[in-house]
Amino acid sequence: MADARANLFSGRLPSEGGALSATKSPADGGVVAPARHRGAPAWLRRTGVVLRSYALFIAAWWLLAAWNGNPIQLPDPASVFNALVDLARDGELLEHTVVSSTRVVIALSIAVSLALPLGFAMGLSRRLESFVDPLVELLRPISGIAWIPLALFIFGVGNMLPIFIMVYVAFFPLLLNTVSGVRSVDRRLIDASRTMGVSRRAVLERVVIPASLPTVMVGFRLAFASAWAAVVAAELIGAPSGLGFAIEWYRQLLMSPKVFGFIALIGLVGFLFDSMLRALQRKLTPWHTGASA
């Protein structure tokens, strides 16, 4: 099960190390003078690289759009930017973003309140795990997307459908990571505190929960990533609002700049959420500097 976590997560591993970590900051070497002329501090240089990359990307996009010559298929960056400004002015941008984000937050809260208690119980009791795990392993391969038609019947088009799908997809990474987090707690810590007469409850609160928190946080970030991918699909098919709805709506109206604008927004909001979770991860588990394992 730790395997599942590591695998899913390895999608994120490499890029997080800080791309410039190899070019060591000259300031900590003591030999300042010769190295200084290389100029700006690392974060500035990094920003420069990012800006250069995106400038090239947008230039390539522009050229491609000009070469294609069909603004419905591929609008140029300027018109997408204008569309985004228009949408922001209408308030539509904010509206759809808020709707989708609210659904994600609600779904994640539900998933957490279901998966964490069950995960801790399963982590602490092998017996319970041996009963529940088969059911989990049977359900897990059925992707959340495959539930959409059935869920459309049960919930109809509306808020409930995306929330249900997201709770479903967020549940498994949370559960599996919680179980493996609890399992990975050093037995000796528990034994030591038991020996010192600490009550079971306190052992749970003071030892098991903090020690498994890093893994749980990883599960939380994974759960968000799955939920964010699922909300787009669910809204696209079965909701009258939200970012996923908006891209398909404007596609049908053939208003491509708005479609592209909303797609960019999906990326941006997803990125911002993940940055927030990463900050939370650093705050809650500062001792877990790897932040990824």
Partner 1 sequence: MSTAGLALGNGRPVTTALWQVLALPLLALLVWQVWALTLESDTRAPYPIKVLTTFLALTASGDLPSALLQSLGRVIAGFCFALLLGCGLGILMGANRKLRDSLDPIIEGFRPIAPMAILPIAILWFGTGTPAALSIVTYAAFFPLLVNTVHGISHVDPKLVRAATTMGLPRWRIMLRVLLPASLPSVVLGARLAMGVAWTAIIAAELAVGAKSGGGTSGGIGQMMFVFYAYSVDLNAIVVCMIVVGVVAMLIDRIFRAVERRLMPWRP
In the bound state with partner 1, the residue whose beta carbon lies nearer, of 120 and 250, is: 250
Min CB(269)–partner 1 separation in Å: 8
Contacts of 42 (CB under 8 A, 6+ apart): 20, 23, 25
Min CB(220)–partner 1 separation in Å: 16
In the bound state with partner 1, the residue whose beta carbon lies nearer, of 48 and 91, is: 48
- Return the closest-CA partner of residue 144 out of 117, 179, 171: 171
CA torsion, ordered 209, 172, 163, 240, to nearest 10 deg:
140
Min CB(202)–partner 1 separation in Å: 29
Neighbours of 32 (CB within 10 A): 10
Min CB(29)–partner 1 separation in Å: 20
Q: How many CA atoms lie within 13 A of 274 on its CB side?
A: 21
Neighbours of 28 (CB within 10 A): 7
Rounded Cα–Cα distance for residues 38 and 118 (Å): 54
In the bound state with partner 1, the residue whose beta carbon lies nearer, of 94 and 131, is: 131
Min CB(16)–partner 1 separation in Å: 10
- Evaluate whether 117 touches 174 at the Cβ level (below 8 Å): no
Which residues sit at the interface with partner 1, rule CB under 8 A? 1, 3-4, 7-8, 10-15, 19-20, 22, 49-50, 52-54, 56-57, 72-73, 130-135, 137-139, 141-143, 145-150, 152-153, 225, 228-230, 232-233, 236-237, 243-244, 247-248, 250-252, 254, 256, 259-260, 263, 266-271, 274
